[in-house]
A and B are shown apart, each in its own frame.
Chain A
């Protein structure tokens, strides 16, 4: 059958998707050539700084003329697209080529946009990592919930609840580490509603998640106006957790200060990502989770209590997102602000879909969003030819391009969003 199909020249769905991805790469690469090289602009030197702190120094900075830099990187980007095309012929994964493409495309843009400016490269990456922390927590929460078959649109609410609870408790007790304990509990509380209504009452999960977000935004906003503003010194004067330097590791050039000079929340995040990546595919817990998310009837037939597994995993997801919420308050600024998560939960959701429900994919997507966002704020300070509003749109447009071009018809866990009732076959 597949032989005949190939003879007729039709491609399978993943092949079509890949072809579309490669076409997008060529298109963007040519666009980069046109936009960044041919469109005339003052040709000054771009300087990248690679030193941030007192880490060991490999090299201090690198200067390149704007035009040479953007032309060079655009050509490499096009070569990467070509490589992807060749790999496609060789029926290999195009991951390497697309990673190379993304990096060089980004550098080409940077050389063009930052003409005559100094770009603190290490700082750019570090800021990007910081911005992607809540996204990674949120996406991990989404993966656990959705892999077990419950759609989690309430990530935003779980993050916000965690941010609120940790900020308030840290302020009331003057012990900001207590925030690390209460934040997951606040997330669990939101999840408890999600799980109860989704599993016990079989409420539509997309709608439910949306409504829970409104509920948390409402409650935290109400309490913020009612208590946190008038009695700020008791209710909203928390402080931030101190960064911890991991001995030796933080001295590694470039990566050290980015990865190993962070607060405990970030280290917890590394551990979490590792645990979930391994646990999801290599443990009983992960196997059961995937079983109830893909084929609950089969899971039930081997004696797994489907709804119990789902319930527990949704609560766990809430705890993870809640902990991520703590990053907004005690991890970053100390005090709580109204709606301070500002839609990050939805971006986390996009990262999760972008990453196709796989932990590492979601982390990669979250990092891309974080970097794009940080690039925008760095460039808005140094000044760019592009209005800052358009820079701010980039992560969102990238998501749309990704879900419609690169990712195409995504396949969620088969029973994601479908309530399970014993004795009803699906």
Chain B
């Protein structure tokens, strides 16, 4: 028995190509059944996300199954992507330990656009559940995917691959949680309804902040954004009057000089000595005077400092890859041994060679 993987991903194909092969979630069971019925294919699971479309198959005759898979894809997308016989690009085709290794890497987030992200695990779980419900999986793929989920869990707990944040929005949310703990009691104010501040506010809203105020020079834009996010719009000349209630301020106005100054904050901070204030300044030129960070209880982060933390987070994750790979290689060896020799055989640790057929 062999495990095959045929797919396209953000590493091998542009979004124009990937979108032609994407399978809607509702059609996953149906397509999985069609794949499972192809000559040489005994079991099938389809993983389709915005960054990858992959067909996993268990087969007793790998060359026959791969030909059938290619023909199937050619038939399915004749106009949009005509595949000639024998043409494999932009698809990668993996078999044996390489395909097992690939799945384990995918679920662990090592193949993701943002290394270590965990959303992919949920997406693969959904894809497997859809295939399982449709009856296109059996002993081999059931075991493979269950093992993959265990590997992902082990990678997450035994390495720091998911640690730290790698985007400005997630860094801001992480820092807010390091300051306030649970954000459900926090009040957020957005000053200047720009795109980055909107994204950051949305990231904070995903943690169920208590309330949101939006203030912008154009009140209509503030009202529009407030309505979209379930917040309250405030006239721009009144934002500082609501300031004493705020825990997190996200600022990105087009003001040519600092509008958040020590003179403005100092009296407010004296009234709320045991409540910190987190100022996220995303504007260039900056909205907050850097000296504000010297006030007790005020934590000021500008766009550069947030980006620097995100970059360090990414570097840390990249450093963890080797450890993740060693851990995955052990599981690949175990699983491949089981797959080729059957259960009950003692596990061996095989080196994983990335090979294409």
- Answer yes or no: are A and B bound together in one complex: no
Residues of B at the A interface (CB closer than 8 Å) are none
Residues of A at the B interface (CB closer than 8 Å) are none
